[in-house]
Structure 1
Amino acid sequence: MTTSAPDDANAPSDAQSSLVRNRGFQRFYGTRVLSSLAFQMLAVAMGWHIYALTHSAFALGLVGLAQFLPMFLLTLVVGHVADRYDRRRIASTCQVIECAAALTFAAGTVGGWLSAPLIYALAACVGAARAFESPAVSSLLPGVVPRPQLPNATAWSTSANQTANIVGPALGGLLYGLGPSHAFIACTIAFALAAVLSGTIPLRAKPPSRAPVTLESVFSGIAFIRSQPVILGALSLDLFAVLFGGATALLPVFARDILHAGPIALGLLRSASAAGALAGSIWLAHFPLRNRPGMAMFGGVIVFGFATIAFGLSHNIAISLVALAVLGASDVVSVVVRTSLVQLRTPDEKLGRVSAVNSMFIGTSNQLGEFESGLTAGWWGAQPAVLVGGVATICVALLWMRFFPALRDTRTLEREETPRATASAN
């Protein structure tokens, strides 16, 4: 009895050490960093280039729409592919396609033939590749680390994304300032390295078996989510919150016309939210959400809304950077809770299809949110559009607390036994 306390006290550090030494997780972490780094650099370069060509906020929204449509249309297909084939090969193939798109951007800027329609077409190509890549990579993690380490690994995986989201936009803005082709060439290299790492991740379990394709199996991911009010509530809350509150598509407008800065400042603005998210994800990796994760998610979304309002009101770049950092830190709570719920409450044989629907929700909130922001900014102006979005985000969080009491009252990330099941077990 007297010797158990030190062992318990050392358990978190032992788990952290085991996770760090896991060769599969090292490569998984590396591919997440490199792929996210490349995508963020590409987003900055595409955004600045299309705005420089068109001087239109609506054109920025069209880039987001071009990325969203393939993700939405391919949702059912990509989930089934992730559950039937080697997820490592899927991820690697998608990153090779993204590498080719970035190389085309580089050649187009050097040759001077990169037009707005071509940018939309390449954005759609990248969106289609990421539609397959996202569920494949997300559903890889349970095969890389033991189940008890999943929440911790999810937080560190989120920190990998956020690290790339900090470095990527800043580096993309800096390289674009030196010359547009520099940013696109860096994206090409990063995507290529990510593809190599993805294909060599060792798995603890065999790749998923190739089950026969039926209409029921294709829609089983959606059916499973509908049967789980906690997961449905978490996904839909994140979807509508970021759909209304996302201001990232308008950052080129804020950087150039409101804050009167250049592409390097645009990179810093895109990095600020990721810096806050990185700090939040590192905190959650060391201090996981063990009690009332649903309420933590609702609190994070409400703070996200207030931070969006603060950013929309700001004319000072320092205040804008702080507001975006708070926005990122609050958003990561929602990301970690949502991802952990999906991974811990979904059977592995359905994880690819459920992750695909999850990715579609994320894509809807991000890419379609960019289109919504560009559209409303074209109607009302950039600042009113962001302010309305922040208010709408807070309203969504308050409404969802009433619509999804199961999420609000959930006590743990793991599946909870119903009282009837507990009684029968006793």
Structure 2
Amino acid sequence: MSTARPSHHRAGSRDFRLLWGASAADGVGSQASGAVLPLLLLGLGHSAQAVGLVAGVSTAVGLLLGPLVAVPADRGARKRVMLASASVSALAMGCVALALATGRPPLGLILAALLVERLATACFEAAGRGTVALICPGPEQPRAIARLTAADQGALVVGPALGGLLYQAARALPFLADALSYVVSALCVRAMRADLGAPAPRERGEGLLREGAAGLRLVRSSPLLRLVLVWSATVNVVVVALYYGAVFTLQRAGHGGAVLGVVLAFSGAAGLAGALAAPRVAKRFGGSRVVTGVTWLLVPLAVALATVTGAWAYGLLFALVCLLMPLASVVLQARALQTTAPALQARTGAVLATAATGAAALAPVLAGALADRVSTAAPAAVCGAALAVLAVHTSRRPVRGALAAGAAG
């Protein structure tokens, strides 16, 4: 037994590195192509409404189908789903790159390719949510989630810059890079040695819709998972609304795109640092204190953002928001992972992701309406009020008890 444990640990570490590589490559490629997609569509002569339609439809596909496409992964086909999804996404983005390199593709072709890629990506993300629990021992899972979160934050910094540089060279290159990133992801998944199957036998008489709703039923019945859903959805709305608030505030103050780019790069680097520091902070102060404390600290930062117009002051405050947010987010994700059975990981994760992403999709509309009808300071002020309500909620004894029980579990 003494020789088997180090071997298993080494295998788990190797598989996690491969999972991290797949996630990082996917994130950088998706950010590179996504950042220039509006520029491409506008450059091809399509209207801003068409750009919004493409973005909205592709996002809606992932949101609506996420819990359903998670069913095959929870049935034990996790590795096959991830491999097939990455391959299909590579083919879809490769078709876009080829069409751009050879001519002027119609909007329908681009939309079709994006829908295929979005659905495949939803499958990949759903299958990947249960993988950490299968390849990492319980005590290592918070650190693993922190590293995956750091990869996402790093992609937010590197991806758009890479996409912009490639787009300047040739409009097809960002989409070719995205296709190649999916190839890297597929190769990483293929090289994983762990058995990624999960014990999720299909119940007789259960249809696809009922199986897909199993994650929703679990979230509704679990106080901890309800906290994760409420906290993630609220904070996602706040961060996206503050981002658009930064765009409106800096633009009306006369600052150009270069200043905004620096502000966003600085905030992305802060988010990366926060994700890497999260396990150590949680270990020192305890998960319940971190979640409650971070939520309260976000309140004055959001309120302060409503009072400043200078680029550097806004950038510093927004970076502090992005630094603090992952400290609590990693804790909550780890608790959710540790308290969810492997057979429900994909479907539960899809429900939580759908709620968070769907809420964030409403934030630009909210921020724009407030900025136009009230003032550019209004989005930050409303975000401060929402965070205050959330902070009060996280301070309630039943909520803190649910978080502590999740840690014990």
TM-score band by shorter chain is 0.7 to 0.9
Q: Partner amino acid for 1:400?
A: L
Of residues 394, 397, 400, the one that matches 2:390 is 400
2:263 aligned with 1:272, yes or no? no
- In the alignment, structure 1 segments of 5+ residues that lack a partner are 1-14, 418-426
2:380 aligned with 1:390, yes or no? yes
- Deviation of 1:278 after TM superposition, in Å, equals 0.9
Report how many residues are paired.
Answer: 395
In structure 2, distance between residues paired with 1:194 and 1:386: 41
Of residues 338, 363, 367, the one that matches 1:344 is 338
2:230 aligned with 1:240, yes or no? no
- Deviation of 1:293 after TM superposition, in Å, equals 2.6
- Normalising to structure 1: TM-score of the pair? 0.78
Other-structure match for 2:142? 151
In structure 2, distance between residues paired with 1:298 and 1:35: 32
| Aligned partners of 2:166 and 2:173 also within 8 Å | yes
| Aligned partners of 2:150 and 2:275 also within 8 Å | yes
In structure 1, distance between residues paired with 2:105 and 2:250: 23
| Aligned partners of 1:280 and 1:333 also within 8 Å | yes
In structure 2, distance between residues paired with 1:254 and 1:129: 37
| Aligned partners of 2:371 and 2:379 also within 8 Å | no
Other-structure match for 1:354? 348
In structure 2, distance between residues paired with 1:111 and 1:119: 14
Other-structure match for 1:203? 194
| Aligned partners of 1:47 and 1:252 also within 8 Å | no
- Residues 123 and 362 of structure 1, relative CA distance in 2, 3 Å threshold: farther
Matches within 5 A, 1:46-85: 46-50=37-41, 56=48, 61-85=52-76
Matches within 5 A, 1:171-182: 171-182=162-173
Residue deviations 1:17-59 (CA, integer Å, cap 9, x gap) = x689811111011111101111111221113334555674x66
In structure 2, distance between residues paired with 1:43 and 1:243: 20
Q: Secondary structure at the match of 1:97?
A: helix
- Normalising to structure 2: TM-score of the pair? 0.81
For the aligned residue pairs, the C-alpha RMSD in angstroms reads: 3.6
Q: Percent identity?
A: 19
In structure 2, distance between residues paired with 1:258 and 1:111: 42
Of residues 324, 328, 333, the one that matches 1:330 is 324
- In the alignment, structure 2 segments of 5+ residues that lack a partner are 1-5
Other-structure match for 1:296? 290
- Residues 415 and 304 of structure 1, relative CA distance in 2, 3 Å threshold: closer
Residue deviations 1:356-393 (CA, integer Å, cap 9, x gap) = 11221232134x23xx414752x565796874443333
Q: Partner amino acid for 1:156?
A: R
Say which is worse superposed, 172-181 or 317-326, in terms of deviation.
317-326
- Deviation of 1:349 after TM superposition, in Å, equals 1.6
Residue deviations 1:313-349 (CA, integer Å, cap 9, x gap) = 7766545543443232222124312311210111112
In structure 2, distance between residues paired with 1:35 and 1:332: 20
In structure 2, distance between residues paired with 1:256 and 1:51: 20
Q: Secondary structure at the match of 1:203?
A: coil
Say which is worse superposed, 207-216 or 246-255, in terms of deviation.
246-255
Other-structure match for 2:406? 414
In structure 2, distance between residues paired with 1:376 and 1:355: 27
